[in-house]
């Protein structure tokens, strides 16, 4: 399993969230298992999305899908999101 932690700034959470929800089918088509949306305590337009994927390949396929770029632009994402990949501790055991 792969986990992607994506931090981004948006112009307005209220405008971003419906577009994020609209992109749900795109996430599902790439195999997302779950996701969680967090907002900054000091800046509610700073967003963190934590998503679980069956493989890192499925997550990277989603992130490179041109439709995602369209959704991000429509949602008002400012600049390039920061992406951090983390894995299950058991995946790296014995490596």
Instruction: Please state which CATH number belongs to domain 2-88.
Output: 3.30.70.100
pLDDT tens, 40-87?
A: 999 999 999 999 999 989 999 999 999 999 999 999 999 999 999 887
The answer, as to whether pTM is greater than 0.95, is: no
Of 12, 91, 2, residue with least CA distance to 53: 2
pLDDT in tens, 15-34: 999 999 999 999 999 999 99
The domain spans of the chain are: 2-88
Q: Would you state the pLDDT for residue 92? A: 47
> According to the model, what pLDDT value does residue 95 have?
44
| Amino acid 87: pLDDT | 77
Strands 46-53, 77-87: parallel, antiparallel or unpaired by DSSP? unpaired
């Amino acid at each position: 399993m792969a986990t992607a932690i994506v931090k981004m700034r948006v112009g307005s959470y209220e405008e971003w969230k419906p577009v994020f929800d609209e992109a749900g089918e795109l996430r599902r088509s790439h195999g997302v298992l779950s996701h969680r949306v967090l907002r900054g305590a000091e800046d509610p337009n700073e967003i963190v999305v934590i998503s679980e994927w069956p493989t890192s390949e499925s997550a990277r396929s989603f992130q490179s899908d041109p439709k995602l770029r369209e959704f991000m632009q429509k949602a008002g994402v400012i600049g390039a999101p920061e992406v951090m990949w983390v894995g299950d501790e058991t995946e790296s055991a014995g490596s």
